[in-house]
Structure 1
Amino acid sequence: METNRAYLQRRLSELEQYFLEKIRNGELKPAGTLEETQWIVFLSIGNPTIRAKVVKAASSDFRQAFDRVSGKAEQLVTKNNLMPDWIKVDVVSEKRAMPFSELDLLIKKTRKNYFRHGISFDGEFRTAFLEQEINGNAMIKAAPKQPLALDDQNINRYLSYRDSRAAIFSTHALRDSEVWIFRTMAAFAERETGQIRPLYNGDRTNGIRLATDKREEIRHLIEGSTGFLTRNVKQDGQFEYGYFAAFAKRIGTYNILRHASSLYAMLEGYEVTGKKETMEAVERGLEYLIREALVYKNEGTEKTAFIVDYANGSEIKLGSNATAILALSKYMDVTGSKRYITEARALAKGIIKMKTVSGGFVHVLSYPSLEIKELHRIIYYEGEAVFALLRLYAIDRQPEWLQEAKASFDYFIRNRYWTHHDHWLSYAVNELTLYEPEPTYFEFGLKNCQDKLGFIYHRETTYPTFLELTMAAYKMIKTMQRQGQHGLLDTFNVKDLEDTIERRAEYQRVGYFYPELAMYMKQPGLVLDGFFIRHHSFRVRIDDVEHYLSGYCQYYHDRLPDLPIGYEPEMIKI
């Protein structure tokens, strides 16, 4: 069996040849001026159990710099009996000097965790950090009511981890100094596949792999994130709710609405992967939902049910009933059973009980009194509710479910709900047009998406519901085209929609915990293959994962088949 050291040596030799080829082709040049040619190489080693260990070296000769950093890595692996499952090499390709005051201002202007440069606090790169080290250790943070700034405590904590002999770091001592920001060209070697993967180095895309096979990569995202949710369903059916990734801090709250919607997304993932363990986890999760949260209020012979969120003030949320129906209906659709039809019907009656005289909905009731707690909380609930009725109608053709959905959409149209640009409304109207292909519904669906396309295309955050919104519109347009409803598309730019979908599908990958990014977190195995929200402290929560997963499942089923064979995504230079 190959030893850790032998494996490391073999992969480092491959990585060295990769970069030498880049140098020969003129794609990689040393950072600095002609007078001070300098190759600066960072080497990160990790596995699912530890935060990555990073070593670096510099020389005027690339081979010498690589040999030096390789020697440090071998010593690290041998001394600590470290499994080098993940190996990442960064070669500094650009660097820029600036006064510390300019860096300070640049940090203040940057969105939280969106600082995408490395920083060196000296010209020799003795105290220097990759962008992933900076964000993975919260080296930039804000004190209460203060702007973002370098955080001495977190920097020193990490310096001590990286090298126990490191000197104490102080930003105060650097106030009058010059510092450097830098970019790198990077490549990643993983034991699992044996591949060398080139990584992006764009302003917003730095540090994640390039994808040359769109179909393969989208399937990888679906399989990985479905697996993440599956692993996080406990034996009793409750989820491990989530983590703040940098310091492996578990999120101690819970939300039964997100529990149900995450089960729905898992079933979408199951349709792609077919993994037995995912279905078993879903079944545990559904039983937990029914056992711990479903209550009945009988009125004569009619069964009415509600989902109670006991962890949040014993609330009955319109959206909780909706996502529960979605999960139960999806399970029955996928399995071909009627196992939960009684519960789903009763929950649908609960949604109808929450309708107002005007045609809208009450959003939150108190349990057990069923008094109105909040007439309106969040627009998502109403789209979820109508979508749920329609998904139930797909497997239980009781006219009431369709009639109530149509009545709700009459209300939405009267009140210009398309201005909310809510993805759940797009899901709902797309579903409705399958049964009622009326021009007014198609027009609603187009308006719900159209005015938002420019914003979605350029959005800096990964915001996963944007892919869901645009994919719902895309599917609806295909329905319109099949039915010959071309006239409604005269003022809608389908090409803009398709370009936006492609950009979001590629860009949202930067919110996925590939190993080349997860390795810089405290416990990489906790968050590996999860999706995160960067500006929320790299939060990985079940509902974050489910929205990304749902969007990619729609893309996989409804967009990928329309792309030409051999299609490759364009590299995002943003």
Structure 2
Amino acid sequence: MIAQTNLSYITTALTDLKEKIAPMIQPIQIEAETKFICFLSIGNPFIRARVLCEINQSFDKVFQNLEKKAIQLVRKNHLDPEWMKIDYVTNVEQLPFQQLEQKIANTRRNYFRYGIAFDEQFQLAFLEQEINGNALIRQLPNKKIGLHDKNVNHYLKVKQSNKLLFMKEHYRNKNVYIFETKSYFKERTEEYIHELYNGSLSNGLRKTTNMKDEVAHLIEKSTQFLTRQVGENGKFQYGYFSAFGKSIANYNILRHASSLYAMMEGYEIIRDEKVVQAVERGLNYLIDSAIVYKKEDTAFVVEHANNGEIKLGSNATAILAMTKYMTVTGNDNYLEIAQALARGIIEMKLPDSSFIHVLQYPGFEIKEMNRIIYYEGEAIFALLRLYALDKESQWLEEVKDSFDYFIKKDYWKYHDHWLSYAANELVTYAPDDAYFEFGLKNCHNRLQFIYHRETTFPTFLELTMAAYKMIHRMKELGKEYLLNNFDEDFLVETIDRRAEFQRVGFFYPEQAMYMKQPSLILDGFFIRHHSFRVRIDDVEHYLSGYCQYYHERIGKQTNIEAPILDV
């Protein structure tokens, strides 16, 4: 009964997809012949997508043959086709194999966005998503980026029943083809068929019109993703390299805490009690496994997985997680611990108002004076969040002192989103022009770079949203004169563009389906240039940025139309 239902769904879904593309598809000329070329990808959360290809002079025949192949595939392998994606070829370029190799070598790793066919009949052909999802292109022993014979042949064992063997030497003096496609995706549980982008940077991303609804969807799904990563003992599954479902073995307690902070940001919007329960487990794990006291009222977070380091940023993110939890839930369970950690931060401060970045446990001696500039922004932001709860003047005075140092040393040049967060918080209590000016500088000189950046870089949305929020605060206080040299319209344009572009780093099912075990990484955010890595801190930065975007930019509006990505 289930098998027959699957077969019926194949027929119905293919009919719907065919109707969708029929008005737009055009035949492609290859070697003096004009043909239609289509790929059909079939998958679900528990398998890597199976990809079928059909090429024929008749459009109807293409779909008839795809249906036959799909039904045979589902019957033979007992597949449950939850996801179906159709790609039709829109452009084909013939080129010598050596030129293909050069093109691949000159492309950023994991950013090759063409399909490749090694023959004119597309008997050996891969979609762009197959190439990247199976690491068919990677760094070779000669340190160049190129086609990886072993990975190609490993994938062919699954993809091709006739076990074609791939050897680059076979194509040295031959022509091959690169191609582009237009795509549509259908999920079994939805009536709607998603149209996907086909740009050089946005290829495979579903289009959206209602940005408010889409951002709410991203927040809900990614918050739930992080929640699923928290084990019963409170420790996260740290992350995966997606192509082969490989777990990331190391652990970082700083990122553990900052991910809990982001989860509580997500909880404020989705109100799923499972999130709070997971955060509580995570905080208890942090306290039990990583927090030590130097004296009765002064505590530090120890990174046992990294030889007992005490990082300034770890104390800070622990405070941020605890204060966010207490603010949202209304209890003060962790207040004394947070205060002890704050005293640890102050103990790492030097007479000139700079900070020691790393101590060594158990002796508490200095290990590194400077490591990551972000630690300092995290530290003062944490003190401000604690001050918001307990109103201990010491925390605020220490922040003012540190901020004066940051202004004197031109820390705005680091474009640190944590410093922007801190500046925003500080002007609530001390609305001095110097703090506003610092916050604007921290963002403004970076806007052109942020607007055009080809990687998703999620902290950019956090940085620009902090500036956006600060501008509204300026206007409330009648400080518009500080905006004389600031392009507010371009800031808003950049924010909306980054919010839309960041979606190319989200594992929607139509992207996740090409990885080894989609269920592991579905609804997570990834870093493409790090082998589609999904790590808890990657997810938390995307999530935090989208939460700020939702609260400050679109949450109170009916809709903001998504900008059309021309990349």
Query: What TM-score results when the alignment is normalised by the length of structure 2?
Result: 0.98
- Following superposition, the deviation at residue 62 of structure 1 comes to 1.1
1:153, 1:70 → 2: CA distance? 31
Is residue 572 of structure 1 aligned with residue 565 of structure 2? Answer: yes
2:433 corresponds in structure 1 to 439
> Do the aligned partners of 2:31 and 2:120 also contact (CA within 8 Å) in 1?
no
2:389 corresponds in structure 1 to 395
Write the letter of the residue equivalent to 2:308: S
> 3-state DSSP class of the match of 1:295?
strand
2:452, 2:9 → 1: CA distance? 42
Over the aligned positions, Cα root-mean-square deviation in angstroms equals: 1.2
1:287 corresponds in structure 2 to 284
Is residue 365 of structure 1 aligned with residue 365 of structure 2? Answer: no
Alignment coverage as a number of residue pairs: 565
| 1:14 maps to which of 16, 19, 26 | 16
Evaluate the alpha carbon distance shift between residue 242 and residue 472 of structure 1 in structure 2; reply closer, same or farther with a 3 A threshold.
same
Evaluate the alpha carbon distance shift between residue 517 and residue 461 of structure 1 in structure 2; reply closer, same or farther with a 3 A threshold.
same
Cα deviation 1:268-291 (Å, max 9, x = unaligned): 011111111111111100000001
1:109, 1:569 → 2: CA distance? 32
| 1:461 maps to which of 455, 460, 463 | 455
1:145, 1:135 → 2: CA distance? 20
2:245 corresponds in structure 1 to 248
2:559, 2:540 → 1: CA distance? 29
**Which moved further from structure 2: 372-381 or 163-172?**
163-172
1:267 corresponds in structure 2 to 264
Cα deviation 1:192-227 (Å, max 9, x = unaligned): 323211111000000121011111110111111101
- Following superposition, the deviation at residue 35 of structure 1 comes to 5.1
Write the letter of the residue equivalent to 1:245: S
> Do the aligned partners of 2:46 and 2:518 also contact (CA within 8 Å) in 1?
yes
1:481, 1:494 → 2: CA distance? 12
> Do the aligned partners of 2:140 and 2:148 also contact (CA within 8 Å) in 1?
no
The 5 A counterparts of 1:507-546 are 507-546=501-540
The 5 A counterparts of 1:63-82 are 63-82=60-79
**Which moved further from structure 2: 433-442 or 33-42?**
33-42
> 3-state DSSP class of the match of 1:430?
helix
> Do the aligned partners of 2:242 and 2:533 also contact (CA within 8 Å) in 1?
yes
Cα deviation 1:504-542 (Å, max 9, x = unaligned): 100010000000000000000000000000010110000
| 2:200 maps to which of 194, 199, 203 | 203
2:142, 2:76 → 1: CA distance? 44
Write the letter of the residue equivalent to 2:179: F
> 3-state DSSP class of the match of 1:180?
strand
| 1:155 maps to which of 152, 171, 189 | 152
| 1:416 maps to which of 405, 410, 420 | 410
- Following superposition, the deviation at residue 112 of structure 1 comes to 0.5
2:141, 2:423 → 1: CA distance? 43
> Do the aligned partners of 2:45 and 2:519 also contact (CA within 8 Å) in 1?
yes
- Segments of 4+ in structure 1 off by > 4 A? none
Cα deviation 1:296-348 (Å, max 9, x = unaligned): 1226xxx0000000000100000000000000000000001111000000000
1:192 corresponds in structure 2 to 189
Write the letter of the residue equivalent to 1:91: Y
2:333 corresponds in structure 1 to 339
- Following superposition, the deviation at residue 123 of structure 1 comes to 1.0
| 1:62 maps to which of 59, 63, 75 | 59
Cα deviation 1:381-437 (Å, max 9, x = unaligned): 000000000011111101011111110000000100000001111111111111111
The 5 A counterparts of 1:275-314 are 275-298=272-295, 303-314=297-308
The 5 A counterparts of 1:84-233 are 84-144=81-141, 146-233=143-230
> Do the aligned partners of 2:554 and 2:560 also contact (CA within 8 Å) in 1?
no
Write the letter of the residue equivalent to 2:155: Y
- Following superposition, the deviation at residue 64 of structure 1 comes to 1.0
Cα deviation 1:428-486 (Å, max 9, x = unaligned): 11111111111000000000001111111111111111111111111111111111110
> 3-state DSSP class of the match of 2:53?
strand
> 3-state DSSP class of the match of 2:29?
coil
2:141, 2:248 → 1: CA distance? 20
| 1:505 maps to which of 499, 523, 548 | 499
> Do the aligned partners of 2:323 and 2:386 also contact (CA within 8 Å) in 1?
yes
Unaligned runs of 5+ in 1: none
- Following superposition, the deviation at residue 166 of structure 1 comes to 2.2
> 3-state DSSP class of the match of 1:569?
coil
Cα deviation 1:478-507 (Å, max 9, x = unaligned): 111111110000000001111111111000
Unaligned runs of 5+ in 2: none
> 3-state DSSP class of the match of 2:89?
strand
Cα deviation 1:538-566 (Å, max 9, x = unaligned): 10000000000000000011011475x44
2:40 corresponds in structure 1 to 43
